[in-house]
Structure 1
Amino acid sequence: MEIFAIQGYVDLVVFVVLLAVKLFAFINSLLWSAESYEAAGKLTKPAWTIILGIGVLLQFIGILFILSIAFTIAAFVYLADVRPALAGLRRR
């Protein structure tokens, strides 16, 4: 029976880490102006905010596992592609 306890802890850690990633991406998306998104050539601020917000909501309630995976991928895309592009605008 201890294997099930270990699996429960692993599931909890994965849940918390993915929730933290999605929350970070969502909050970060709110910090940039709408003009920054347009200047970086990315989706609009409302689009990213809605996508990431829905991802946080689905992760928090823990339903629709397949959709949650899709929104996890969207959060990683934001963090790997959009966020660096927005940060690059500040350096110029």
Structure 2
Amino acid sequence: MKICGPKCSLCCTLLSAWGIVQLGIMAVLFWVKSPAFIEDLSIPEEAHHNAGEFVDALDRSYKTIAQNCGIAAGMYVITLIISGWQVMVNKRS
């Protein structure tokens, strides 16, 4: 069953592969709490007044974003499978 053309399916395959690599690396870096991503964290304003609350909010934010990146990378895996299947369908026809 053909869903998209050869150029579209190839483009989606390449973008999916890149998305898996990029989001996989970002998930690992957030998981190990890389300080390079500290500006991307969402920390509530009231957590800035207490050091213990700030560290807890920091850890929760790192963990949440790492999980979100992992989920997004998994969604790219699904997109890669579908677009790779479409590349094969277009090669046969």
Larger of the two Rg values belongs to structure:
2
TM-score scaled by length of structure 1: 0.46
TM-score scaled by length of structure 2: 0.46
